[in-house]
C-alpha cells in the first residue's frame, strides 16, 4: 500500500497508473505534477488525482512513491530538478519506453538516491495521449519490464513490483540493454515504419485518391501513426543505436524483397510470406489476437 503517490506527468500512462492503483485500493493519496495546470485540473475533475502541486518542491513533500511519466526526452531535466528535492526515503520509478538514457540521467542527477530508482516500462498503451484517454484497466494482463541496476535497492524493486502487480500487470525484469534492443524490434521499428509509410503517401500529388482507396490492411498497419509525435521523436533519439540497428536489418530485408520482385522470383516471395504468415498465426494463437502496444 502506497501512502502518497506522486505522478509527474499525468497523461495516458501516468493517469492510467493512478486510476488502476485507486481501483485496487493500493494508494491512499495521489498528487499530480506536470506542465500545464489545465491538464492537472482535468485530472482532478476526472478523479485521477486528489490534488495538483504547483511546484516540484511542493509535489514531493511526504511522497513515498514517485512515478515519472513524462516523455523520454523530458526525463533528464525532470530528474535534474528532482534530485535535490526528492525525499531520501522515496522510491522513484519511471515508465519511459527507453531505459538506457533514462538510467544514465537518473544516475547523474539522483546521487545517493539512485539506489531507490527502479527503472520500469509498461508494455501497454494506445495511440492516444493525455489524461482524458487514461484507463484503469490499461495494464491488466500486460507486461511490465523492470530494469534495475546492480546497486538498486531490493526493497525498492519489491515496492515497484507490488505497484504494478496491483494494476493487474505481469512484472518481469531484464537488463536495460536487452530491453532497449528488444523494444527497438518489437515496438520502435513498427512505429517508425507506420509514420514513414503515411508520410510517404501523403506527400504524393494524388494522396487524396490513395487515401480514398485504403482498405483494412492500410488501417491496421498505420493505426499507430496516430501516436504522439513528440513521444516518438524522443524514443528515436533516446534509443538511437537500437533503432538504427533494426532499421538497417529491415532495409536489407526490403532489398531482398525488391530483388525478388525485380527478378520475378515467385518461389522466394511465397516462401518468405508463408514463413511470416506462419509466425504471425502462431503469435495470434498464443496471444489471443491481442498484441500489446508500445
**Residues of this chain that bind ligand NAP (CB under 6 A):** 9-14, 34-36, 39, 69-72, 74, 95-97, 121-122, 125, 129-130, 228, 231, 293-294
For ligand NAP, which is the closer residue by CB, 265 or 293? Answer: 293
For ligand NAP, which is the closer residue by CB, 28 or 233? Answer: 233
Contact 21, 5 (CB under 8 A): yes
Q: State in angstroms the smallest separation of the CB of 89 from ligand NAP.
A: 24
For ligand NAP, which is the closer residue by CB, 8 or 156? Answer: 8
Bridge partners of residue 53, in order along the sequence: none
Contacts of 134 (CB under 8 A, 6+ apart): 11, 12, 13, 14, 15, 16, 18, 19, 46, 48
Residue 22: how many other CB atoms lie within 10 Å? 19
Residue 127 to residue 102: CA distance in whole angstroms: 22
Cell of 122: 509498461
**CA nearest 245: which of 192, 190, 181, 195?**
181
For ligand NAP, which is the closer residue by CB, 243 or 278? Answer: 243
For ligand NAP, which is the closer residue by CB, 81 or 265? Answer: 81
Bridge partners of residue 172, in order along the sequence: 145
* Residue that the C-alpha cell 535534474 belongs to: 80
Q: State in angstroms the smallest separation of the CB of 219 from ligand NAP.
A: 18
Cell of 97: 519506453
Q: State in angstroms the smallest separation of the CB of 268 from ligand NAP.
A: 36
Q: What are phi and psi of 177, to 5 degrees?
A: -60, -45
Q: State in angstroms the smallest separation of the CB of 195 from ligand NAP.
A: 14
Q: State in angstroms the smallest separation of the CB of 146 from ligand NAP.
A: 13
For ligand NAP, which is the closer residue by CB, 14 or 136? Answer: 14
Q: State in angstroms the smallest separation of the CB of 226 from ligand NAP.
A: 11
Q: Bin 130: left if φ > 0, else alpha if -120 < ψ < 50, else beta.
A: left
**What does DSSP assign to residue 4?**
E
Amino acid at each position: 500500500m502506497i501512502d502518497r503517490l506522486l505522478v509527474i506527468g499525468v497523461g495516458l500512462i501516468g493517469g492510467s497508473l493512478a486510476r488502476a492503483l485507486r481501483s485496487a485500493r493500493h494508494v491512499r493519496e495521489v498528487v499530480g505534477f506536470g506542465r500545464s495546470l489545465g491538464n492537472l485540473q482535468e485530472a482532478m475533475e476526472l478523479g485521477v488525482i486528489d490534488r495538483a502541486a504547483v511546484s516540484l518542491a511542493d509535489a514531493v513533500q511526504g511522497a513515498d512513491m514517485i512515478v515519472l511519466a513524462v516523455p523520454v526526452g523530458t526525463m533528464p531535466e525532470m530528474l535534474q530538478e528532482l534530485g535535490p528535492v526528492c525525499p531520501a526515503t522515496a522510491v522513484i520509478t519511471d515508465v519511459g519506453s527507453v531505459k538506457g538514457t533514462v538510467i544514465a540521467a537518473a544516475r547523474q542527477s539522483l546521487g545517493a538516491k539512485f539506489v531507490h530508482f527502479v527503472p520500469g516500462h509498461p508494455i501497454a498503451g494506445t495511440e492516444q495521449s493525455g489524461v482524458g484517454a487514461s484507463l484503469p484497466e490499461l495494464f491488466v494482463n500486460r507486461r511490465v519490464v523492470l530494469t534495475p541496476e546492480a546497486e538498486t535497492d531490493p526493497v525498492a524493486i519489491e515496492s515497484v513490483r507490488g505497484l504494478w502487480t496491483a494494476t493487474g500487470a505481469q512484472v518481469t525484469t531484464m537488463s536495460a540493454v536487452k530491453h532497449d534492443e528488444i523494444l527497438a524490434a518489437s515496438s520502435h521499428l513498427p512505429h517508425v515504419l507506420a509514420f514513414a509509410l503515411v508520410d510517404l503517401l501523403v506527400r504524393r500529388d494524388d494522396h487524396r485518391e490513395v487515401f480514398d482507396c485504403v482498405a483494412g490492411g492500410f488501417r491496421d498497419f498505420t493505426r499507430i501513426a496516430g501516436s504522439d509525435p513528440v513521444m516518438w521523436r524522443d524514443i528515436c533519439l533516446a534509443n538511437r543505436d537500437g533503432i538504427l540497428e533494426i532499421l538497417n536489418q529491415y532495409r536489407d530485408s526490403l532489398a531482398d524483397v525488391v530483388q525478388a520482385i525485380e527478378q520475378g522470383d515467385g518461389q522466394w516471395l511465397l516462401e518468405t510470406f508463408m514463413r511470416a504468415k506462419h509466425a504471425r498465426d502462431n503469435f495470434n494463437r498464443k496471444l489471443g489476437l491481442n498484441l500489446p502496444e508500445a
